Chains A and B, each alone.
Chain A
Amino acid sequence: MLAEMMKYKELLYFLVHKEVRIRYRNSLFGFFWTLLEPLGLMVIYTIVFGYILNVTEGRGEGIQHYSLFILSGLIPWTFFNNSMKKGTKSLSSNASLIKKVYFPREIFPVTMLLSNLVNFVPAFLLVFVVALSLGHPIDWGQLAMLPAFVLLQSVFTLACVFFVSVLNIYYRDVEFIINLVLRGWMYLSPIIYPVSFLSQNESDLVQQFADFYFLNPMAVMISLYHGIFYENQMVSPGFIIYTIVLSLVLLFSSWAIFKRLNRRVGEVI
């Protein structure tokens, strides 16, 4: 696959460039929306969960600076969320091109991932700036691992996008399902609450659920990002290995599915 992608790197570059450029076209703030959007969400979540619901009260040890906690999880989540939403439609919205000329259709999901990655990197700098301005300590050793975290997340995201993009050609229901799934998925990941809330919860149901919590790869990955700023958010190495293996297995299997279903894309689309 990589060899084929290299052959089309000019096309890939063109499509990613175009995607990034037109996303914020006709908007006053342009590229700044990459930063304004997560900042706005941070403010909303901090007000709603930090003040109105007051989730940190009494058990907030370890998550000082709740707004930073939210932001550091929200930004990787936004990368996943947007890649999935745009990626689902990446084939169906390019129907006219796909019907006219043949070239590797993997390009479209990959384009969506890369263009979101371009937005994600500067947004993560924002977390860094917020942490520094709040005077929050940063774990430099963990920060050095950031590229690896991003790579892992990209592999996992690409695997999911391959699968949903081609499935969406056959059944447009996927678009609607994905929106719903993503909403639920976000609340099942440690974004507005730290994982420690689960073990502190007295309900038996939640206690049982806590054991399976890290089977959700996004929970593992977001905890890895949290680990840069919060020591007590570390995940056990077993779950990290699980996530790496799962992402790779998913990538290969969803790519195989993509190739298989791709055969009839030209006529169904």
Chain B
Amino acid sequence: MEAIVVKNLTKHFRKAYDKTLKGFFISLAKKEKRYKEFTALDDVSFSVQQGESYAIIGKNGAGKSTLFKVLSGIIAPDTGSIQINGKVAPLIELGAGLSRDLTGSENIRLNCAIFGLNKGRIKEVYDDIVAFSELEEFIHTPVKFYSSGMKARLGFSIAIHIDADIILIDEVLAVGDKDFKKKCYAKMEELRDAGKTLVVVSHSLKPLRKICDRALILDQGRVADVGEIGAMLDQYENEKKPKKKKQKGA
């Protein structure tokens, strides 16, 4: 059975030039379009099987984050359809805005509540979340004092403990330290083996090879290719090679 079916998904963004009233009148007088349309996703179709680990790779600006946001429901697509079977948990980055002033423990409660867990269930998973994040010592400290690694740890711990069927993982993992990354990848494999569906949007390609089954390459909002993870990563790396050499030289 499919966990996620995406059909002909298209998303345009409007880049407004000047949103003020003055700008409006100027562009009205000039008879020009008031905004420039930008296609972030162009006719994207793919499906993820239940229990599968799926990677979405692509350069900066390829539409990965937009796709991620559409999948998690934050942005509504212009055309096309998304069918999701099961509960989705996006791994979110903590510590911004509302949650900044809250302590780690309050953030756990808030995020669990956002994902619809009831009081009893929150109590049950609370200790596991704290234990996995290894933040026992700082759990009553406001999140604004956390390092980015600590935030990532807490975020990951919450995302994997909220009984989701489908877990969306963005590139947030990049900030955790080596040991924690290892632990995360181990946990991801464990989740996959437990029959959960994982969708990983990532830059760091190495670990994907171990975790994921299939991958999708996005290029300028279009699906460039879909296939088995090894072949896709090789293809993607070959394209990127000239860039990589430069980095090594510098």
Is A59 positioned at the interface, with any CB of B under 8 Å from its CB? no
Is A152 positioned at the interface, with any CB of B under 8 Å from its CB? no
B109 contacts which of A14, A93, A100 (Cβ < 8 Å)?
A14
Which 4 residue pairs are nearest across A and B when measured between Cβ atoms? A96-B97, A102-B73, A96-B96, A11-B113
**Residue on B nearest A262 in the bound complex, by CB:** B76
Further pairs besides A11-B110, A18-B106, A22-B101: 15, Cβ < 8 Å: A7-B116, A8-B113, A10-B113, A10-B117, A10-B118, A11-B114, A14-B110, A97-B96, A97-B97, A101-B114, A102-B72, A102-B74, A103-B115, A266-B69, A267-B75
Chain B residues 95 to 116 lying within 8 A of chain A, measured CB to CB, are: 96-99, 101-102, 106, 109-111, 113-116
A100 contacts which of B92, B101, B116, B122 (Cβ < 8 Å)?
B92
Is B58 positioned at the interface, with any CB of A under 8 Å from its CB? no
Is B93 positioned at the interface, with any CB of A under 8 Å from its CB? yes
**With A11-B113, A14-B110 as contacts: A97 and B72 at CB distance below 8 Å:** no
Considering only CB atoms and an 8 Å cut-off, how many residues of chain A contact the other chain? 23
Q: How far is the CB of A178 from chain B (nearest CB, A)?
A: 18
What residues on A are CB-neighbors of B74 within 8 Å? Answer: 98-102, 266
Q: Contact mask A79-116 → B, CB, 8 Å, 1/0?
A: 00000000000000111111111110000000000000
Chain A residues 1 to 37 lying within 8 A of chain B, measured CB to CB, are: 7-8, 10-11, 14-15, 18, 22
Is B221 positioned at the interface, with any CB of A under 8 Å from its CB? no
Is B22 positioned at the interface, with any CB of A under 8 Å from its CB? no
Is A65 positioned at the interface, with any CB of B under 8 Å from its CB? no
Q: How far, in angstroms, from A99 to B65 measured CA to CA in the complex?
A: 11
**Residue on A nearest B113 in the bound complex, by CB:** A11
- 24 A-B interface contacts by CB (under 8 A): A8-B113, A10-B113, A10-B117, A10-B118, A10-B119, A14-B109, A14-B113, A15-B110, A22-B101, A93-B98, A94-B98, A96-B96, A96-B99, A100-B92, A100-B93, A101-B92, A101-B111, A101-B114, A102-B73, A102-B74, A103-B114, A103-B116, A266-B74, A267-B13
Chain A residues 33 to 61 lying within 8 A of chain B, measured CB to CB, are: none
